[in-house]
A and B are shown apart, each in its own frame.
Chain A
Amino acid sequence: METSYETIIIGGGVVGSSIAYHLSERYKEGLLVIDKKFPMSGTSGSTQAWVWVHSKTPAWYAEFSMYSAELYPYLAKKIGDVEYKRTGGLSPFFREQEREKAKRLAEEYGKIGIQIDVLSREEVLAKEPFFNPRVAGATFSLLDGNVNPFRLIDMYMRTAKKNGVHYSTYNRVTDIRRRNDMFIVVSEKGTYASKRLILAAGPWSRELGKLIGINIPINQVRGQILVTEPLKPFLRYTISGLRQANNGEVLIGYSMEQAGFDRSTTLDVIQETANLAIHYVPALKKAKIVRAFSGIRAMPEDGLPILGKVPGIDNLYVAATHSGVTLSPLIGTLLAELLLDGETSLPIERYSLSRFA
């Protein structure tokens, strides 16, 4: 005996839960989200959660990220306070030669309406007085900020549930089959049938795709992060590499490693991360680290999101990307449009899985 749903979403992280919530705003038919553990236990709960636009390339991908950042203030009105702060984003450089690169970036982004300032040393220090005075300059954008990822996913999930979405957690999907026009999702806790299926499994996408015979070319990268004890507020901006959270903790990390699904933290990367922190903000050297954590992030083979219909299989959709926190309000909005209206308000053809064919 199997339970039937109109739509099943596999993956309850920031992307899957955003899609569930956005669909549930307009659509009251049966919706089920299945997660192999519990939302936040994977990638979505192990991030610094920048909402980051500037310095994404190519420019059209930055533009896509910008639209998502613009949705955040409305999201808070709809689902509740997710501690989104548009702090402005600061990306420092320490060699004068890099100013040319920064200026080219700013010029390129100016054409698509994203304003990036290239700051002098004095301007960086005026904005962020505790920054290393040896800094040469920085790129700065007003659009960037950060969010509390736990609040974000929790509020997506709570609002989705309020709107009637079912969640089945600690329930690994073991097989996906087709029967007539239906998807049959076999899981540890039961078998479900649905008309439509959305794969939103982040770094587990490739493995999940194999169950239904499609190739979703997403790999894993590991990022390690250090957390300090709560400090009095002294950092104003989201700096590429570290940020100060509402409760005063500073989250530090900008590492990327190939480590498969191994979520260990390692001393060498922790030491480098400590070096980075002190290099950026020397005053941090006396701050105490209370923990290190690492997360496995989804990395599509070409770095860009994979979104939309899966070519060749009707009613099958995929949404998997790096930068899921930045993109989640937009991805949720667009996927809801795609499912309910058959078209999206922004073009997403560029992000189709078919580009890898």
Chain B
Amino acid sequence: MLDQATIICRCEEISYEEVAEVIRYGARTFDDVKRLTRCGMGPCQAKICMSLVAQVIHAETGRALPEIPLPRMRMPLSPIKLETLATNRTSFSAVKSVLDEVEPEEGMR
């Protein structure tokens, strides 16, 4: 049984009570709960708390479990080193730097 002090999210140490509070405040999905409490934002990326949060939403709102949307899963599915992702290229197409965008002449207007 979950009680008020039960830790729902171990990574961010979020309790049942904290999750229930934001649901009473209007959160309806896992992702709403996540943004309001950080529940699910830690290293495990919601793998542990996903179904527990669904249970809390069900308990607080009466919404049927199959109707509660799953969290948006994001890549990478498990933590990965930055250097593993990097390609060593130093020219960027979509990625900019601030000074690239600056046109100081425009400031003269």
Seen from chain A, the residues whose Cβ lies within 8 Å of a Cβ on chain B are 38, 40-41, 45, 55, 57-59, 62, 91-93, 98, 101-102, 104-105, 108-109, 139, 150, 154, 158, 167, 169-170, 224, 226, 228-229, 240-241, 253-257, 265, 267-279, 284-293
A139→B43 contact, CB < 8 A: no
B108 in the interface (beta carbon within 8 A): yes
The 8 A CB mask of B19-57 against A (1 = contact, 0 = none) is: 000000111110110011010011101000000000000
Q: Assuming A108-B104, A275-B88, is B31 touching A255 (CB within 8 A)?
A: no
Contacts A270-B75, A293-B74 given; does A91 touch B85 at CB 8 Å: no
With A255-B94, A291-B74 known to touch, is A101 a contact of B104 (CB < 8 Å)? yes
Of residues A257, A271, A274, A284, which shows the largest number of chain B Cβ atoms within 10 Å of its Cβ? Answer: A274
Residues of B close to A41: CB separation below 8 A: 31-32, 35
The answer, among B79, B93, B103, B106, for a CB contact under 8 Å with A289, is: B79
Closest 4 CB pairs of A and B: A240-B98, A285-B83, A274-B85, A288-B79
Given A38-B32, A265-B75, A293-B74: A278 in contact with B82 (beta carbons within 8 A): yes
| B99 lies within 8 A of chain A by Cβ | yes
B102 touches A279 (CB 8 A): no
**Contact in complex: A290, B86 (CB < 8 Å):** no
Contacts of B92 in A (CB 8 A): 272, 275-276
Contact A154 to B96, CB < 8 A, known contacts A55-B101, A59-B107, A287-B82: no
B101 smallest CB distance to A (angstroms) = 7
Q: Is the CB of A55 within 8 A of B98?
A: yes
In whole angstroms, what is the CA distance A276 to B86 when docked? 9
Q: Shortest beta-carbon distance, A311 to chain B, in Å?
A: 23
Bound-complex Cα distance A292 to B82 (A):
12
In the complex, are the beta carbons of A279 and B90 less than 8 A apart? yes
Q: How far is the CB of A40 from chain B (nearest CB, A)?
A: 4
**Other than the known A254-B98, A276-B95, what 20 A-B pairs have Cβ atoms closer than 8 Å?**
A38-B28, A38-B29, A38-B32, A41-B35, A57-B102, A91-B97, A93-B99, A105-B102, A105-B107, A150-B35, A150-B38, A228-B82, A255-B94, A272-B89, A275-B88, A275-B92, A276-B92, A277-B82, A286-B81, A291-B74
A290 with B79: CB separation less than 8 A:
yes
The docked-state distance in angstroms from the alpha carbon of A41 to that of B27 is 11
Docked-complex contact B32 and A101, CB < 8 angstroms: no
Write the nearest CB–CB distance from A178 to chain B, whole angstroms: 30
Determine if B76 is an interface residue (Cβ-Cβ < 8 Å). yes
> With A and B bound together, what is the CA distance between A62 and B102 in angstroms?
12
Known: A40-B35, A265-B74. A229 touches B99 (CB 8 A): no
Complex Cα distance, B75 from A257, in Å, reads 19
Q: In the complex, which residue of chain B has the Cβ closest to the Cβ of A108?
A: B107
